[in-house]
Amino acid sequence: MTQQPDAPSDTAPYGRPGPGDTSIAAATEWWRDAVIYQIYPRSFADGNGDGMGDLPGIRGRLAHLRDLGVDAVWLSPFYASPQADAGYDVADYRAVDPLFGTLADAEAVIREAHHQGLRIIIDLVPNHCSDQHAWFRRAVAEGPGSVLRERFHFRKGRGDNGELPPNDWESVFGGPAWTRLPDGEWYLHLFAPEQPDFNWDHPAVQDEFRSILRFWLDLGVDGFRVDVAHGMVKAPGLPDIGHGEQARLIGSQILPFFDQDGVHAVYRSWRAILDEYPGERIGVAEAWAPTLERLARYVRPDELHQGFNFHYLNTDWDAGALRNAVDASLSALGAVGAPATWVLSNHDVVRHRTRLGGGLDRARAATLLMLALPGSAYLYQGEELGLPEVTELPDEVRQDPSFFRDSGQDGLRDGCRVPLPWSGTEPPYGFGAGDTWLPQPDDWAALTVQAQTGDPHSTLELYRSALAVRRTHPGLGAGDAVEWLPAPEGVLAFRRPGGLLCTVNTTAEAVQLPLPPVRRLLSSRAPFTVPTPTGPSAAPVREIPADTTIWWAE
């Protein structure tokens, strides 16, 4: 049953700032250069001491994000769910799971975020729901021929007695993408068996999600991150693929269950709804497309506003590869008038401090490069603290569904989901009052927000400085081009309109680089800022240390 708020919200209609909320003014295409911070609710802050992050915990820590200098917050799912896949198996899209609080708590987070000058984007999971969703439970109970089964993908099996799955599709998490019920029919689930796929050819499914959009827009959210945005629509006839290890193909080619052209009609209908609401509400596609040109189709002017740039995320720490990724991204997305997005970490990938190799210096350099590029940037909670991937988790505490299955994803996503350290010298580091749902390392005392605040050498203070410069410098933020400057192998140098120059050394040795008259604004190596900036130096050559990005003002 949908929860009701405990008391009327004092948020102004459609999430516009109320009488005392003047920090979010009317903006023009704010999303083109926004820095958006992802909160994984289980692991951000625990407000009731049960070891699980929740909405009251998030509300109590929003000031950290205000002080960090981000523009918006993206919340991973907090809907009512059996939690078979950490909330990405939704049982009720209009209710809050008791693990995280109540609908009133969600409203309070939206209201407080707006008061702090932050926008709120929430996850939407339209490809599949939970097997405990009311529609699916009725479909199973009513048996073959039920009208409710038409809202999902139920099929008879192959073989003499229907004992074989309807086709050869595999789950992203491993194993067949089909589960057979006792009545003999099979249902499709591209992820866990507890996550049946909706049939998006059915009008009731389309109507339901348009209603869900309006429900949350009316409560004041500023946009939606669309989970598996490349999914939903399946090829007619559900044809075989012809070989296994299909999870490895995602993002490399069009598949009969991913990146089908029919999804774009869905997003055009959603864009019409978003445009009805004031305040520039946005849609963000999590779309694993085989090319940037295919990704650009999701962000055409009448569809969604942004698409996650996984091509950039998957680029190695190599100057040539990075330059190619930047050029290709700006070209493909600029062709449809959309901003590029840049991301290094999220809840599904190894944290970039670990993934890129090279330790903290390289992670900081990668961040400063990302924040210098034209467009919008996404930060994942904890990267501002320099958190590494937690690789030593006992098998018995892991909860990633694919960890328990074969041939799908690697099953090791828990390592980037360990709860954040806020203060203190031992677990739970101020996260809450007791043990955390995933154990924190014993050596994180120096990585807490408390320990890093005010330390001029800390990663947190670098992020705060970088975002403050980005917010005020005319050469950072929106745009669709960079001007590449001559640089030796392994080094990137580019100019942004507005008098900002960025240099990136991806090599293991310091390099000497001739530059025009400039003064240093910010370096990814401490000391990050120049205490008393002077006028531009005429020095013809500057040294760029190994694994370092520097911003210069001309």
Q: Which residues are catalytic?
A: 227, 276
Question: Which of 211, 71, 191, 76 is CA-nearest to residue 131?
Answer: 191
- The token pair at 477 is 């933020």
Question: Which of 344, 316, 372, 356 is CA-nearest to residue 549?
Answer: 372
32 contact partners, CB below 8 Å, separation of at least 6? 339, 375, 376, 477, 478
3-state secondary structure 231-269: CCCCCCCCCCCCCCCHHHHCCCCCECCECCCCHHHHHHH
The span from the CA of 136 to the CA of 477, in Å, is 45
Question: Which of 53, 57, 56, 58 is CA-nearest to residue 42?
Answer: 53
Q: Where do we find the tokens 């109590």? A: 60
Helix or strand (DSSP H, E) at 484: strand 483-484
For strand 178-180 and strand 186-188, is the pairing parallel, antiparallel, or unpaired?
Answer: antiparallel
How crowded is the C-beta side of 326, counted as CA atoms within 13 Å?
A: 25
Q: Where do we find the tokens 């909320």? A: 21
For strand 282-285 and strand 306-307, is the pairing parallel, antiparallel, or unpaired?
Answer: parallel
The span from the CA of 326 to the CA of 150, in Å, is 43
- The token pair at 133 is 């969703």
